[in-house]
Structure 1
């Protein structure tokens, strides 16, 4: 009788301790400005940024944006005009940075979030909802330089292979409006091979106006 009661008490204490730790971890992750470090998938925080080669977004460059960021050498940025720009979930495509000239198959895309969308997390959720075929979404709030960002990691079902494809997205509020970046490759293997470029872009992102 006492042995059973003692075992039950120990089990209850273990559950309470685990719940308390989970609540503390959730609170830490949700704290504005927090920068959790998670190795391996799905966040790959241990991956070092690639060497900088090209700055995207500055005045007079191929894509003039409310932000600037660096990408590796030979990645090619091209603006997307209003006439041909795709719109998803209230965000309009403004610039494509193509990895093919550097021997990779993938893009880093820059989207302008429509005016009036004040909640950056909501704008990211709206975009992914319309993006489609998305699963295993995780969000976090991080700081990159002077900017606080909301970042998402997720899988999208590949239309050709039917398999999952790891991708990333982030959104930042700047004086020139909210900006959304999306990043992905031909498949998860290509995504991982290009991921140092994403680390470079996100570690160098700055508001220009």
Structure 2
């Protein structure tokens, strides 16, 4: 379901110095199998999209978000560093940038590219990539249908998860996807959300670009 951009409610509120800067049946001979609609497939069944051309780099020195890793961004995706408020009175606001043991460090907005959603980069101080990713996914209490698999992100070993969460905005399940890598400076988790499953799948090329081009610092 595609909605006007003006209806998007960001997960993280940015307020000046506060936060600045996711049994079968037998086949009939000769009959053609029905084609599932995109919304019918589970996250793990979604086809890997074509990777777009890189338009910018993120994570290295001089970029919007200094990170333990760097990767390429698709055209018009706009990154912004996230800084947690230190004022105890703003603890509720700071909690918006935490999920399980993960702390959000960068939010990359897809609205300028015509989509409703974000790539978000999180860090976890210690532990394995698998443990960090599992805790991150469980950090959303509505997460379900979770599937993990080992793979690579660029040249680094990685763990990836596909799962669904419940959208409070639309009261329906939607797909999410995330991967994690271990670095000398802790674990990095990159996740892709979206207003709904349609938007999530439309943004997968940008997610795949980030995953396949990722490298240390």
TM range (shorter): 0.7 to 0.9
1:205 corresponding residue in structure 2: 214
Task: Output the CA distance in 1 between the equivalents of 2:177 and 2:153.
Answer: 15
TM-align CA RMSD: 1.5
In the alignment of these two chains, the number of paired residues is: 167
- Measured after TM superposition, the shift of residue 41 of structure 1 is 4.5
Deviating runs (4+, > 3 A) in structure 1? Answer: 43-46
Give the Cα separation in 1 of the matches to 2:62 and 2:155: 23
Q: Tell me which residue corresponds to 1:42.
A: 43
**1:127-206 maps to which residues of 2 (within 5 A)?**
127-206=136-215
Which residue of structure 2 aligns with residue 87 of structure 1?
Answer: 98
Report if aligned partners of 1:54, 1:75 keep a CA contact under 8 Å in 2. no
Distance in 1 (CA, whole Å) between partners of 2:139 and 2:66 is 26
Q: The residue matched to 2:139 in structure 1 has which SS? A: helix
Q: Does 1:57 align with 2:59?
A: yes
Equivalent residue runs for 1:88-127 within 5 Å: 88-114=99-125, 117-127=126-136
Deviation string for 1:37-59 (max 9, x for gaps)? Answer: xxx75243531112211211110
Q: Which string of whole-angstrom CA distances, capped at 9 and with x for unpartnered residues, describes residues 129-155 of structure 1?
A: 122211100000102332001110000
TM-score by length of 1: 0.76
Provide the C-alpha distance between the structure 2 equivalents of 1:41 and 1:157, rounded to a whole number of angstroms: 14
Classify the secondary structure of the residue corresponding to 2:193: strand
Structure number with greater Rg is: 1
Structure-1 separation of matches of 2:122 and 2:169: 25
Question: TM-score, with normalisation over the residues of structure 2?
Answer: 0.73
- 1: CA distance between counterparts of 2:56 and 2:140? 28
More helix by share: 1
Gaps of 5+ in 1: 1-39
Q: Is 2:77 aligned against 1:75?
A: yes
